[in-house]
């Protein structure tokens, strides 16, 4: 059993619990013990795309963790919580509410390479301990800024080209306006981000940039690497797999996690060498990362091409 189950993870379920659910369903489906891993943690309060790898696809989990991701998230203005999300005590408050134009004006500051300070309630290790464990004990946690990249950031559901920079919004023009007089109690944004980006920190910093405070009340991942919501299944549908539904309805092939890498058709001789982990020389092709496949279109390995040679990065036993 090798491939991917793309779960539309519901709020309240942790990523480790989701992996456990897939293992249980595989057992119920009569598949026996299957190696399972996930391609990027989602907090219990977040929902959306959670790639879960089966068998040989687990060799791609590290690559999936490094992939960029897209999120929809709602920033609630006026209160900041300890965890920067809907749980936890309120630690700061403000009566200031921004307009949509004010929010749009600061978004370019958070687009491109930026530095951000992760939340104290995060899994980052400090002197060998998780930051959230220290924070829960009430200890002062000093988080260091880290470099991340925000590829794009915009008001969700709106074409950024359609929003003039100096537009003046009236209450009936502002989607989600709850504050009256064009002032927003909350706003939903869409961000395409690099690995290591904390959306909760992004929300905090956007709120501060418009002169107030804020926290995340909704977080939904709509894409992780090559996988999006169109490929995702619900927990109910996952359970149907355990009750005998066809595997083809739920499991994507291993190569579905490689669609952003060029495929390389290997000769029988080259395929044999690559399967044995040997370097194959005399190849006329551009340098870079490829995934090699044999004459039956089966993935053999992730391959690095360099100066006319092919070297195995990660082999697949299919």
Q: Cα separation of 201 and 220, whole Å?
A: 15
Q: What is the pLDDT of residue 76?
A: 95
Tens-digit pLDDT profile for residues 218-260: 999 999 999 999 999 998 888 887 777 677 778 899 999 999 8
The answer to whether residue 282 scores a pLDDT higher than 90 is no
CB-based burial of residue 5 (10 Å sphere; 0-12 exposed, 13-18 middle, 19+ buried)? buried
Task: Return the higher-pLDDT residue of 125 and 78.
Answer: 78
Q: What is the pLDDT of residue 178?
A: 47
Tens-digit pLDDT profile for residues 182-229: 889 999 999 999 998 999 999 999 999 999 999 999 999 999 999 999
Span between the terminal Cα atoms of the chain, in Å = 9
Q: What is the pTM of this model?
A: 0.85
* 164-to-105, 106, 169, 182, 188 alpha-carbon distances in Å: 10, 13, 11, 16, 18
Q: What is the pLDDT of residue 285?
A: 85
Tens-digit pLDDT profile for residues 92-107: 999 999 999 999 999 9
Measured in whole angstroms, how far is the alpha carbon of residue 176 from the centre of its chain?
25
Banded pLDDT at 176 (limits 50, 70, 90) = very low
Residues 8, 43, 85, 177: which is the catalytic one? 43
Is 66 considered catalytic here? Answer: no
With beta carbons less than 8 A apart as the criterion, state whether 174 and 122 touch: no
Tokens encoding 188: 């939903």
- 240 sits in which H/E element: helix 235-242
Q: What is the 3-state secondary structure (H, E, C) of 52-106?
A: EEEHHHHHHHHHHHHCCEEEEEEEEECEEECCCCCCCCEEEECCCCCEHHHHHHH
């Amino acid at each position: 059993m090798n491939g991917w189950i793309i779960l539309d993870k519901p709020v309240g379920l942790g990523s480790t619990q989701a992996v456990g659910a897939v293992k249980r369903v595989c057992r119920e489906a009569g598949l026996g013990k299957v190696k399972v891993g996930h391609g990027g943690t989602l907090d219990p309060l977040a929902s959306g795309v959670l790639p879960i790898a089966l068998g040989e696809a687990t060799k791609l989990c590290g690559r999936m963790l490094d992939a960029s991701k897209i999120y929809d998230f709602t920033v609630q203005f006026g209160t900041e919580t300890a965890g920067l999300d809907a749980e936890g005590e309120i630690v700061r408050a403000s009566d200031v509410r921004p307009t949509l134009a004010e929010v749009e004006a600061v978004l370019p500051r958070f687009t491109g390479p930026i530095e951000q300070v992760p939340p104290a309630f995060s899994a980052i290790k400090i002197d060998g301990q998780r930051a959230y464990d220290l924070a829960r004990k009430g200890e002062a946690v000093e988080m260091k800024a880290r470099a991340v990249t925000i590829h794009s950031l915009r008001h969700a559901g709106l074409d950024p080209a359609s929003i003039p920079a100096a537009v003046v919004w009236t209450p009936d023009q502002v989607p989600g306006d709850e504050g009256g007089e064009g002032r927003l109690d909350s706003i939903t944004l869409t961000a395409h981000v690099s690995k290591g980006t904390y959306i909760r920190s992004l929300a905090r910093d956007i709120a501060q940039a418009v002169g107030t405070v804020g926290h995340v009340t909704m977080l939904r991942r709509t894409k992780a690497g090559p996988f999006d919501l169109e490929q995702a299944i619900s927990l109910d549908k996952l359970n149907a797999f355990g009750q005998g539904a066809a595997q083809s309805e739920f499991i994507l092939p291993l190569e579905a996690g490689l669609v952003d890498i060029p495929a390389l058709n290997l000769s029988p001789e080259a395929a044999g060498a690559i399967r044995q982990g040997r370097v194959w020389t005399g190849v006329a092709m551009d340098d870079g990362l490829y995934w090699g496949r044999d004459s039956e279109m089966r993935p053999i390995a992730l391959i690095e091409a360099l100066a006319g040679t092919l070297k195995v990065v990660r082999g697949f036993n299919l």
